[in-house]
Structure 1
Amino acid sequence: MTRWGFIGFLAVAGCMPDESSHRDAQLTACPGITAGMLPGEPHGKATAGLDSGDEDGRERVIIRYRREDGVTAAQVHQLVGQVTATFRNVPAVAARVTPEERLALALDPRVESIEPDQKLYALGTSAPTALALATTLAGTREYVGELRRVQALEVWDQDGDGLPDPGAVTGAGVKVCVIDSGLDLDHPELRDAVVAARDFLDGDDAPSDRDEERWGSGHGTHVAGIIAARPGLGGRGGPVLDERGLMGVAPGAQLIIARVLNLEGSTHMSLVMKALEYCQAEGAKVASLSLGGSLGSLNTEEGFKAALDGGMLVVAAAGNEGQGLMSYPASDPSVLGVGALDNTDRRAVFSSYGEGLALMAPGVDVLSTFPQGRGSFAALEVGDSRPMSRSLLYAPTGDTWGSLVDCGMGESVASCGEDGSCRGFVAYVHPSAYVRPDRAIVNVMRQGARAVIFASELMEGGAEILSVPQRGTWVPSVTITQAASTVMERQLGATAKLSLRPADYAYMSGTSMATPYVSGIAALLFSARPSATPAEVKAALLSSAKDLGDSGYDEQYGHGLVQARRALEALVGPVP
């Protein structure tokens, strides 16, 4: 689930486009220009096992049976024709039922309850918010600044050479289950990390975040890299990263990949419950869930408690709604809920909070692994200045240039005024609550824009520009910092040069990005003391966190910023 900031739009926009952009895509102000989505353009097929077939009138439900009746799966199949999942830890099954079948089940004395098989969503945005962007990396280290903030380097890189110290605690021997969208299985930083995998959508053991037609969001690849990207195995990352790439917070941990999110970033609770059981059966000590959005029930609470009682610590994202109510399952009493901090250690404007929030971790402008060649790094030059910029995900790569033209909010095909030229220019667009970014890009493209620069203007609710749709015709597009936006106002009319280079990494923001920091640090603790219980690891994490906000625990920041070294010392004693 992505938060709609005051101009934010869903990362799944490529699959749910503004219909007006379909109708008007060919009605260009300049002749011969194709912009945005074409009418009737395919957007990818539904993912098997999730939403396909709902048009037949069946509803996805979870049916709970009374324990004393001991109903078997075979009996359930007789009662309900389309059982989609059975559970070991909960006396329930998931099924697709017609209204008539649901009524018959409700009248069955063996049935305790029938509840919707609720939807959950990925909890990461796809690009920086309008908050100040982090300083660009110099390319001389294999790790990013967030690892310093959470003290990971004090655990396994005390000599500061960018590699784990001999004999240091790196998460070795600990399995972390990433319940997410799958990943790029061939990414050089992750190939050696994966020890088990299951795709709960396609029903196979190859949880790739793509189908034969297109890639998904890249969400799972990004999350997995934050946890366990390997040292010395970098992909394409120049000029931001050197050839060694980057490292995860627990670079020795083993990953179990459980794919439950489809290409649009959504799933159902029954798949998450099955994934939890799978993770536990595979020996995971930590489960990392950068997803949420539903409400808890007796079934789900029993499922998460069974995971905890079985020795697995479950960590989940608090949500991106910016409100005082966390998403589920982060709000579950058996789950460790994690909120996101910006690069000044303030709660990110999008990060949800509330009763039960446990910890905070970096969650704005986080650099991590991404499907190979699907990320991009931007370089922008305007006159004599070089403003910091971030490319919108899925924007086309390449070099372009043109006169910088103020196009207002990009609300119409006349927004660039007389300075707009069919010969080509670079559009400077001001975010608006009333114009979707993809709509603004289409409008300025139709006036001849070769590229788009989105300003960062903090207003109520913040500003988010997430991505361009993955299908259609677009131009290179970036967002810039608030400080750069102020300078840009004085550069109108100057020549703007924009370069987007393909990369195997990307910057993303969200509580999705904060969660794997906590999951990785939990893996470090289990690695240092394999006999530790989830309760002991949780206590160490909470007692050692860096206090933020009001003194002591508070609902805005929980116990504070997770700290790896301090948590390790709380669990095992002084670290040399």
Structure 2
Amino acid sequence: MMRWGFVGVLALVACAPESSRQAWSQGQACPGVIAGEVTQHQGMDGNQPSREPDDGRTAAIIRFRKVSGTQASRVTAAGADLARDVGAKVSFVYRNIPAVAARVTPEERLALEQSELVESIEEDQAWSAQGLTPGLLPARVMAASQGVLPTGEYTEALRMVQAPEVWDADADGVLDVGAPTGEGVKVCVIDSGLDMRHPELQGAVVASHDFLEGDDDASDVGEEGQWGMGHGTHVAGIIAARMGQGGVTDPQSHPGGMVGVAPRAPLLIARVLDLQGQTQMSMVFSAMEWCESQGARIVSMSLGGGTPTRSSVEAFKAALDHGMLVVAAAGNQGGPVLYPASDPSVIAVGAVDVHERHAGFSCVGSDLDLVAPGVDVLSSFPRGLGAFSQMSVNDTQPMSRSLLFSPTGNTAGRLVDCGLGDSLDACRGATCDGFVAYVRPGAVPIDQAMSNVMRQGARSVIFSADDGPAGGEVNILSLPRRGQWAPAVSVNQATGTMLRQRMGSHAWVNLFPVDYTHSSGTSMSAPFVSGVAALLWSARPELTPLQIREAMRASARDLGIPGRDPVFGHGLVRAKDALQRLP
């Protein structure tokens, strides 16, 4: 597998001796510095379904009228022929709903609307991944976990949902004989694909399909070798990372890495998200039908957006009626639960932190079913693209956290206060010799602040949570996936206070590659519920999806006000307690 083309060492061209000592308080930039995002390659456009070609066509779901006494499949087949006859570019023909997905011109749409066979034409909505992305308000996490993988394979989040109590009741680090582990329960992950060679997931994947490129290689990688989001690899690891199959970790961590909620569940991987984390509703419908054809009992979808349509409601009801339990992320906008999580046939999952507190980004409302860990969740990531951070300032070695998608590297220099990083004169007293920038985020987007301080000569950047509470919390920050960036870390408020007292001191920042990362979002919460459902079904395979859903709801740890509420739903999903509530 190829690494991201954008991850590399910061290119700093040495300044001439007479200018290298110049202070850039006048808003000037060091010559020769390359900083910021790069223009995407043209060849990537075909791998992004959310970017419609400029061909005068729009994406649509074309529904056909059901004729009494006629099989739905025949109605759909006749409708597909009609759509092709008028010139529409048909991409998917469905079994569970009387519809096809197609791209149509205005003239073709009019011709279809005038046909007695066509019931309606719906918008083919754009849906997206529900992990936190640059530009969203940062979540906050406790500094105790900053930059450090667990000392064993059992993460705090895993323990929160009681998974080890189900399959390692004696806590000896070995799967108990005969315990429910998810074995035999296929979980279909509809996401961005997977690093198929990640050690944590070897032996887990039993089938895969790439709905973007129409083949069976569902790797999270584009046409020119650029890695995508890593989103699907992170989600899949939460569900089913194998016991004792660790990738590269930091020196302080367990060599086994981490383990998933259902460590023997077989995975089906359906790639629908493009390199930007976008997809079309039509592609998700097709992926769900593929999951069903492969024998999936659970569908895990950490994506959403748009609104319900007749076709979408029918598609999710058909999945439930056919024995599949669909679990979806509630969304990260803080408002009402997004679709399709809000669909009555789908389990909507919100996010809490390790202290069982509501994550501020997590969507809420009456449609919320359950909550699960979704803040600073550790899981697998495309090999070598995670980063573990170490830093020191004079005689201190404070904890730090690498920014998501930060390049790795070993840098050192004088610690310079760059304030808000909001201008080219933010770093007072900086020189083009190179330095370590200290920035308080929030005034401008993280990528803009990075570009500003890099152009003033910064070799690496430390972001501080100066506006946070007095406790040990740190901002979760992320860089754009493509561009020229310096190694970057974040620290908590206490460390920031200490660093401000040591300006001008020698600072050292070292980021080195690992096969894991911490991430936040309801994208991380949904797979915990999917994994718990797999454990329940492996214990009682004869149960229906509704019985599995009810057991998780009835056994959830009640949080917030007593009973079901719009912030926590029924509460925190708990595997052991749910097993005890099975009929």
Q: Which amino acid aligns with 1:285?
A: R
Q: 1:455 aligns with which of 456, 464, 467?
A: 464
For the pair 1:145 / 2:156, whether they are aligned, the reply is yes
Partner SS, residue 151 of structure 2: coil
Within 5 A, what are the aligned runs for 1:246-257?
246-257=258-269
For the pair 1:35 / 2:35, whether they are aligned, the reply is yes
CA deviation profile, 1:229-248 (whole Å, cap 9, x unmatched): 00111110122532211100
Q: Which amino acid aligns with 1:491?
A: R
> Given that residues 475 and 492 in structure 2 are in contact (C-alpha distance below 8 angstroms), is that contact kept between their aligned partners in structure 1?
no
Q: Which sections of structure 1, spanning at least 5 residues, go unmatched?
A: 1-11, 15-26
How far apart, CA to CA, are the structure 1 residues paired with 2:105 and 2:407? 44
Superposed displacement of residue 474, structure 1:
1.4
How far apart, CA to CA, are the structure 2 residues paired with 1:497 and 1:268? 45
Superposed displacement of residue 198, structure 1:
0.8
Within 5 A, what are the aligned runs for 1:175-574?
175-211=186-222, 212-323=224-335, 325-418=336-429, 420-432=430-442, 434-458=443-467, 466-571=477-582
Superposed displacement of residue 102, structure 1:
1.2
CA deviation profile, 1:527-549 (whole Å, cap 9, x unmatched): 00000100110010000000101
> Given that residues 126 and 509 in structure 1 are in contact (C-alpha distance below 8 angstroms), is that contact kept between their aligned partners in structure 2?
no
2:131 alignment counterpart:
124
> Given that residues 28 and 425 in structure 2 are in contact (C-alpha distance below 8 angstroms), is that contact kept between their aligned partners in structure 1?
no
Within 5 A, what are the aligned runs for 1:150-169?
150-169=161-180
1:67 alignment counterpart:
66
Q: Which sections of structure 2, spanning at least 5 residues, go unmatched?
A: 7-26, 69-74
How far apart, CA to CA, are the structure 2 residues paired with 1:302 and 1:475? 48
Q: Which amino acid aligns with 1:451?
A: S
> Given that residues 126 and 507 in structure 1 are in contact (C-alpha distance below 8 angstroms), is that contact kept between their aligned partners in structure 2?
no
1:112 alignment counterpart:
119
User: Which segment is superposed worse, 507-516 or 155-164?
Assistant: 155-164
Q: Which amino acid aligns with 1:566?
A: D
How far apart, CA to CA, are the structure 2 residues paired with 1:509 and 1:197? 25
Superposed displacement of residue 479, structure 1:
1.5
For the pair 1:102 / 2:109, whether they are aligned, the reply is yes
Partner SS, residue 56 of structure 1: coil
2:13 alignment counterpart:
none
Superposed displacement of residue 473, structure 1:
2.0
> Given that residues 48 and 274 in structure 2 are in contact (C-alpha distance below 8 angstroms), is that contact kept between their aligned partners in structure 1?
no
> Given that residues 303 and 523 in structure 2 are in contact (C-alpha distance below 8 angstroms), is that contact kept between their aligned partners in structure 1?
yes
Q: Which amino acid aligns with 2:310?
A: L
2:14 alignment counterpart:
none
TM-score under structure 1 length normalisation = 0.90
How far apart, CA to CA, are the structure 2 residues paired with 1:327 and 1:509? 17
Superposed displacement of residue 442, structure 1:
1.0
For the pair 1:87 / 2:98, whether they are aligned, the reply is no
How far apart, CA to CA, are the structure 2 residues paired with 1:187 and 1:331? 33
How far apart, CA to CA, are the structure 1 residues paired with 2:242 and 2:236? 11
How far apart, CA to CA, are the structure 1 residues paired with 2:524 and 2:229? 14
How far apart, CA to CA, are the structure 2 residues paired with 1:458 and 1:318? 28
Superposed displacement of residue 109, structure 1:
2.3
Q: Give the total of aligned pairs.
A: 544
Q: Which amino acid aligns with 1:188?
A: P
Partner SS, residue 61 of structure 1: strand
Distance 1:322 1:477, change over 3 A: same
TM-score under structure 2 length normalisation = 0.89
> Given that residues 437 and 465 in structure 1 are in contact (C-alpha distance below 8 angstroms), is that contact kept between their aligned partners in structure 2?
no
Superposed displacement of residue 254, structure 1:
0.5
**Identity over aligned pairs, percent:** 53
CA deviation profile, 1:150-196 (whole Å, cap 9, x unmatched): 11111011222223122221111110000000010111111210001
> Given that residues 474 and 491 in structure 2 are in contact (C-alpha distance below 8 angstroms), is that contact kept between their aligned partners in structure 1?
no
How far apart, CA to CA, are the structure 1 residues paired with 2:313 and 2:349? 18
1:8 alignment counterpart:
none
User: Which segment is superposed worse, 208-217 or 485-494?
Assistant: 485-494
Superposed displacement of residue 48, structure 1:
3.9
Distance 1:322 1:483, change over 3 A: farther
